Amino acid sequence: MSDIPRSTDVLIAGAGPVGLTLATVLADAGVDAVVVDQAAEAANTSRAAVVHARTLEVLRELDLADELIAQGIVSSRFTVREHDQVLLTVDFDELPTDFPFALLVPQDVTERLLTARLRKAGGDVYRPYRLTGLDVDAGGVRGTLASGETVRARYVVGCDGMHSFVREQTGIEFTGDSYPESFVLADVRLSWSEPNDQVALYFSADGVTVVAPLPGGRHRIVATVDEAPEKPGLAAVQALLDARGPRRQPARVDEIVWSSRFRVHHRLAAHYRSGRLLLAGDAAHVHSPAGGQGMNTGIQDAVTLGHKLTAVLQGAAEAVLDEYEAERRPVAEEVVAFTHRMTRVATVGSAPLRGVRNTALRALDWIPAVHRTMAMSLSELANRPAEER
Ligand SMILES: Cc1cc2nc3c(=O)[nH]c(=O)nc-3n(C[C@H](O)[C@H](O)[C@H](O)COP(=O)(O)OP(=O)(O)OC[C@H]3O[C@@H](n4cnc5c(N)ncnc54)[C@H](O)[C@@H]3O)c2cc1C
């Protein structure tokens, strides 16, 4: 790509799903933005596998919803189970949205479509450029890159992930904790008798295990374990499903397509803005992948922030930028709390407590309002701005 511009209105650090979305919203509005990413190439691993209804609503604004849906699996139901017993069912098909389902699609596919869309809007990503310095003065910010080049901008947005350099420079606290467990993540080919358009969450004393269908005949397995192997193999994933999955007709792992392990934190930035520096996505919040909401919350941050930045750069008062934190931080706070509760309920250790939990969940399963509340929370439709409800 050509030489990096020396000045711009918005410098975006990080071209993950959040940076790409923000850059596209700005490009569509005619705002000058530069996106840099330290990686030489976009990540090609599947990571976040669920795109929820609220995210599809905001991606429709970018004309991306239909294209993404064409690449994924439409899933209208999540079930919570203990082995063969269904404890709770969450149906999405009655949701008040044009997208009454969860879309299962690997993150690299989502990022590929976002990158193509950014190019269509006239933008692109500068790689490999690592942001290593920020100097803020009255008129703007000078961003220094590891290459030694500098970019002057009116605003800098850290979409640079959990270990955000931008957040570090602001001194904004990132409070929370880490879960003691680690997560096994595997995309597999699976033989099993369950429907291939539903997500199943298996609760067990040893940890929670999610089995979700992916396009191309694959399934995503996510499981909490005390200590995950660096690269979980077929035997390890099979052992997890044997111990926690269906018993009447056990699942068989035929092949591991990709696997990884990761550690999960639940942390939230105390603020999303410090003057001309702003945060979005994992730079501002990280949480358990139970419910698959990390990337979703971040993409929604990016769309909101894109509109606010556009307004300010087109003459609105700077105070409009504070609305971003006011609107989006409570959403992340709720997601962090919700996924934390789910993770704790899923991993209740003692047999008597498990019995109480299962009885309570089965009782709740009879109450339609509970289904609706769960579906609204998981789909993130509960977080729609008031004017869109
Ligand atoms: C192994 C794994 C599995 C996951 N599974 C799930 C899941 O099942 N469900 C779910 O919801 N979420 C999952 N996540 C989380 C999900 O991937 C993130 O929530 C999502 O990627 C956040 O997007 P982002 O754009 O904020 O940050 P990221 O995707 O982390 O992107 C940040 C970008 O910033 C760049 N960068 C960092 N520092 C700099 C710098 N100083 N200068 C320039 N560029 C920089 C990086 O190269 C990167 O491209 C998973 C994450 C991992 C790692």
Q: What is the pTM of this model?
A: 0.94
Does ligand 1 come within 6 angstroms of the Cβ of 107? Answer: yes
Same domain (yes/no): 360, 315: no
Q: How confident is the model at residue 378 (pLDDT cuts 50, 70, 90)?
A: confident
More confident residue, 129 or 365: 129
The residue among 229, 264, 299 that closes a domain is 264
Atom number of ligand 1 nearest to Cα 160:
34
Same domain (yes/no): 192, 258: yes
Average pLDDT, the chain: 92
Q: Is the pLDDT at 375 greater than 90, yes or no? A: no
Please tell me the residue having the least CA distance from ligand 1 atom 12: 48
Tokens of 281: 């996505």
Displacement of CA 254 from its chain's centroid (Å) = 28
Looking at residue 143, its pLDDT comes to 98
Task: Please report, rounded to a whole number, the percentage of residues in the chain having pLDDT higher than 70.
Answer: 97
Same domain (yes/no): 162, 128: yes
User: Does 57 reside within a domain?
Assistant: no
Same domain (yes/no): 169, 44: yes
Separation of alpha carbons 175 and 169, rounded Å: 16
Q: Is the pLDDT at 389 greater than 70, yes or no? A: no
Could you report the per-residue pLDDT of 276-333, keeping only the tens digit for each? 999 999 999 998 776 678 899 999 999 999 999 999 999 999 999 999 999 999 999 9
Separation of alpha carbons 281 and 259, rounded Å: 24
Same domain (yes/no): 216, 257: yes
Separation of alpha carbons 201 and 45, rounded Å: 22
Could you report the per-residue pLDDT of 50-79, keeping only the tens digit for each? 999 999 999 999 999 999 999 999 999 999
Q: How confident is the model at residue 242 (pLDDT cuts 50, 70, 90)?
A: very high
Mean pLDDT, residues 366-389:
80
Atom number of ligand 1 nearest to Cα 165:
41
Q: How confident is the model at residue 383 (pLDDT cuts 50, 70, 90)?
A: confident
Same domain (yes/no): 278, 199: no
Does ligand 1 come within 6 angstroms of the Cβ of 19? Answer: yes
Does ligand 1 come within 6 angstroms of the Cβ of 265? Answer: no
Same domain (yes/no): 233, 157: no
Which structural domain, as residue segments, surrounds residue 373?
A: 74-102+348-389
Q: Is the pLDDT at 82 greater than 70, yes or no? A: yes
Does ligand 1 come within 6 angstroms of the Cβ of 291? Answer: no
Separation of alpha carbons 291 and 126, rounded Å: 32
Please tell me the residue having the least CA distance from ligand 1 atom 50: 47
The residue among 264, 290, 324 that closes a domain is 264
User: Does 61 reside within a domain?
Assistant: no
Q: Is 63 exposed, middle or buried (0-12, 13-18, 19+ CB in 10 A)?
A: exposed
Looking at residue 2, its pLDDT comes to 62
Q: Do residues 280 and 302 touch, judged by C-beta distance below 8 A?
A: yes
The residue among 219, 246, 264 that closes a domain is 264
Q: Is the pLDDT at 223 greater than 60, yes or no? A: yes
Number of domains in the chain: 3
Separation of alpha carbons 201 and 193, rounded Å: 15
Residues 6+ apart with CB under 8 A from 323: 308
Query: Which of 321-325, 334-338, 371-375 has the highest average model confidence (pLDDT)?
Result: 321-325
Please tell me the residue having the least CA distance from ligand 1 atom 53: 47
Does ligand 1 come within 6 angstroms of the Cβ of 286? Answer: no
Please tell me the residue having the least CA distance from ligand 1 atom 35: 14
Q: Is 76 exposed, middle or buried (0-12, 13-18, 19+ CB in 10 A)?
A: middle
Quickly count: other Cβ atoms within 10 Å of residue 271's Cβ: 17
Residues 6+ apart with CB under 8 A from 38: 127, 128, 129, 130, 131, 146
Q: Where are the beta strands (DSSP E) in 167-308?
A: 174-191, 198-202, 209-214, 218-225, 252-269, 273-274, 277-279, 285-286
Could you report the per-residue pLDDT of 207-220, keeping only the tens digit for each? 889 999 999 999 99
